[in-house]
Amino acid sequence: MGRRSHRAGPPGGAWWGVVVLYSAAIFAASSTDSIPAGRPRFPGADKWLHFGAFALWSFFFAQALGASAPRLGPACRVALTLVATVLYGASDEIHQAFVPGRDSDGWDLAADAFGGLAGALAGLVLAAWTQRRRRRRDPSARSSPRVERDAV
């Protein structure tokens, strides 16, 4: 048996499965023209729903990306996650343009993008927190000690 990755949590394949399933859920929700029961009905509520849905999508995507390519730096992971979120959000808006009773809205895409940024950053915060926690529990997981220079 191979060794398990140094990362805590599900391996990359499990995270990608979550991304695919959640993408399907967003697609299904975008395919209906009815307003679900319990949905908030205040001005701008749909933008908050877009923000939340895509924040969660990008969080899952960032976790999958981090588990699959752990050597990616934080800035690269956020950038790739944001690009993927905007592309998926744009495809969702195009899809909605063809659903009777739905429309495509640039402000929804903006809410998707801001949610994507929030989710990607939340993923980085969680990764840093779990890494710090793991290092506290396991001193051998810490990087090698600094070599101090002799005073001259």
State pLDDT tens for residues 41-61: 777 778 898 999 999 999 999
pLDDT band at residue 36 using 50, 70 and 90 as cut-offs: low
pLDDT band at residue 104 using 50, 70 and 90 as cut-offs: confident
Gap between the Cα atoms of 25 and 41, Å rounded: 21
- Which pLDDT does position 40 carry in this prediction? 64
Lowest mean per-residue pLDDT among 34-38, 80-84, 132-136: 34-38
- Which pLDDT does position 130 carry in this prediction? 81
- Which pLDDT does position 128 carry in this prediction? 82
Q: Is the pLDDT of residue 139 over 50?
A: yes
Gap between the Cα atoms of 65 and 71, Å rounded: 10
- Which pLDDT does position 42 carry in this prediction? 73
Percent of the chain whose predicted confidence (pLDDT) is above 90: 42
Domain ranges in the chain are 46-138
Q: Is the pLDDT of residue 15 over 60?
A: yes
Q: How big is the CA angle at 76 (ends 72 and 82), to the nearest 5 degrees?
A: 125
- Which pLDDT does position 144 carry in this prediction? 47
- Which pLDDT does position 2 carry in this prediction? 47
Render the burial of 53-91: b for 16+ CB within 10 Å, e for the rest.
bbbbbbbbbbbbbbbeeeeeeeeebbebbbebbbebbee
Helix, strand, or coil (residue 89): helix
